[in-house]
A and B are shown apart, each in its own frame.
Chain A
Amino acid sequence: MIAFLIKRIGSAILVMLAVAFLAFLIFAVAGDPVEMMVNEQATQADRDALRERLGLDQPFLVQYATFVMNAAQGEFGISYQTQRDVMSLIASRLPATLELVFIASMLSLLIGVPLGVITAIHRGKWFSEGLQFLSIFGVSLPSFVIAIMLILVFSVMLGWAPGFGRGETVQIGWWSTGLLTASGRNAIILPAIALALYEITLVMRIVRAEMLEVLRSDFVKFARARGVPRRIVHYRHALRNCLMPVATLTAMNFGTLIAFALVTETVFQWPGMGLLFIQAVLSLDFPIMAAYLVIISAIFVTLNTLVDIIYAVIDPRLRQEKI
């Protein structure tokens, strides 16, 4: 087990080093930062001084090592655009994104699982076939299309929920939450649904497929034969055996959702780190771009590694396998 842990964590660290290298490359191809930071009147001596201060006179590999050391401590430099510390900028936007993604994950479970069960139990009935057909749209349509439709219908035409911004927020320590005010709760509804829809259909399809499999198994037949009520067979015996893949999917997709939130955030002008990233991309603010890439990948890799390790704890056979 310990050997497995070391191997798995080691490869995660290697992957992160490579991602950091990619992030570092962004700076390398992006042109000379000295030229971006100095003003017109700067003399050659000024430039050289700045170059030395930024460590740009060092060899390439030394610069990369410095970048990695700083990144590991959450040091990503200063934003070109706002002249503020990149890490504190991202930290101030993090709560908005995490709240959105968390609510979307909850929605996908609360809606996706029951829909999956219903379509599996009532297989062949018109409404479950209809739902199955609709799920093609859920998988096909990009989140910004869904977001725009939601805004058009529920906020422009019906006026039920706001179509942009985050509403009022309450500050708890460094965490700002919109969930404690009425306007904040109203504002999160549409973006959360827009972000969750893809995941809802995914969860629904997986639960349906798993349920169909389990419903055919012997223990379900036995429970039925014993006269256990239908509801209990479906929800206690069958559903429980379907939840493992759903839990894995939700955990793994948390990272994907954070990345995809950037599209939703752009449509709804939701002040999360995705919106920060897109604004940085459009104004070529490289430190923010690099930091976002490293942070998102770190979340991604951590989740994947955790899932692998938990699997290995549950199922010892997986420890033997080559990684």
Chain B
Amino acid sequence: MTLQVDQEPVLTRPSRFARMRDSDLWHSFVTHRGAVVGACMLVVLVVAAFAAPLIAPQNVYDSAQLQLMNARVPPIWQEGGRWPFVLGTDIQGRDVLSGILYGSRTSILIAVSAVVLSLVIGVLVGLAAGFFGGIMDNLLMRFADVLLSIPTILLAILASAVAMDMLPSGWRALGAAGVIVFAITLSNWVQYARIVRAQTSVERRKEYVEAARLLRVSPRRIMLRHILPNTLTPVLVAATLSFGMAILAEATLSFLGVGMPASLPSLGTLIRIGNNYLFSGQWWIVLFPVLQLSLLVVAINLVGDWLRDALNPKLR
């Protein structure tokens, strides 16, 4: 008897886009008002920030464009306000709107780099510690205890100040971004390492890992291809939430004066500069960067809040 297989079902895989539209995640996204609002805000803010060289009236990095006769111009709807300084200018004649756009770009770039770097370091260390256990695991956990017993903001300030001091003076302005990324990473990677380690030490005892071992799959491959995908969800949620934290950390460092210099301003730097004119009537220099920073972080947290609930299997 021969088995007839002429009626093989035609499995056309739906397109990637269609699959995405059909997924649980997409559904929970479109039905979550906060997430949609947050995502739209985020897209607008990010696009505007990265289009800064195209849409900003002034290049804030070019000091030749700053003219003192344009200093302290109020916003356009106030008396004395004038085109093109829609949101007014600061004490050196820097256009506030352009400053905000370029500043957001700097802030976002630094925050993304810091989160990605701490994610990579945290995941690798956590994976190795959880998989191999033993001395390495113990060392990691003790080290994590130490880092966690110092408030993150304090650690970041100290790391930033000390590292900035060690930079050769010609590199201060450009190196500042790197230093901030380093400082935020230093205070941030431990949380990922802890999450991944906890998850890994559970996963490595499961049967599919045993099976892979019996098949003589190399430990590196087991870690990266078998265990890693199963530990990523909680880490990604933590990463979205800490993206907002990273933006705030950068802003705080720059605000306190251990972050980006005035020649390469981030949002925090703009707020620090504007803060000096709070009592002398030029409120627009500080208010608009503050609003922009708030919008950015609120948008990120709206999306993050949704993602945390959507990916949490307990709440399904």
Partner-B contacts on A (CB < 8 A)? 11, 14-16, 18-19, 22, 26, 29-31, 133, 136-137, 139-142, 144-145, 148-149, 151-152, 156, 163, 255-256, 259-260, 262-263, 266-267, 278, 281-282, 284, 289, 292-293, 296-297, 300-301, 304
B212 within 8 A of A: no
CA of A133 to CA of B298, assembled, Å: 11
B161 within 8 A of A: yes
B157 within 8 A of A: yes
B258 within 8 A of A: yes
Across chains A and B, the number of contacting residue pairs, with CB separation under 8 Å, is 115
From A22, A30, A260, give the contact of B153 (CB < 8 A).
A260
Asked if B258 contacts A281 (CB within 8 A), the reply is yes
B40 within 8 A of A: no
Q: Given contacts A152-B278, A156-B283, are A26 and B162 in contact (CB under 8 A)?
A: yes
Asked if B149 contacts A300 (CB within 8 A), the reply is yes
CA of A188 to CA of B288, assembled, Å: 26
B142 within 8 A of A: yes
CA of A292 to CA of B275, assembled, Å: 25
CA of A144 to CA of B142, assembled, Å: 33
Collect the chain A residues with CB atoms within 8 Å of residue B305's CB: 136
**Residue of B at shortest CB range from A289?**
B158
Q: Say how far A15's CB is from chain B's closest CB, in angstroms.
A: 5
Collect the chain A residues with CB atoms within 8 Å of residue B300's CB: 140
From B146, B161, B297, give the contact of A141 (CB < 8 A).
B297
Asked if B153 contacts A29 (CB within 8 A), the reply is no
From B165, B166, B278, give the contact of A151 (CB < 8 A).
B278
Q: Say how far B2's CB is from chain A's closest CB, in angstroms.
A: 63
Question: Scoring B residues 245 to 287 as 1 if CB is less than 8 Å from chain A, else 0, what string do you get?
Answer: 0001001100111100000000000010001001100010011
CA of A27 to CA of B162, assembled, Å: 10
Q: Given contacts A14-B142, A29-B166, A156-B278, are A19 and B150 in contact (CB under 8 A)?
A: yes
Q: Say how far B179's CB is from chain A's closest CB, in angstroms.
A: 13
Please give me the 7 A-B residue pairs with the lowest Cβ-Cβ distance, nearest first: A259-B151, A18-B146, A140-B297, A140-B301, A142-B248, A281-B161, A140-B298
Asked if A293 contacts B301 (CB within 8 A), the reply is no
Asked if B145 contacts A148 (CB within 8 A), the reply is no
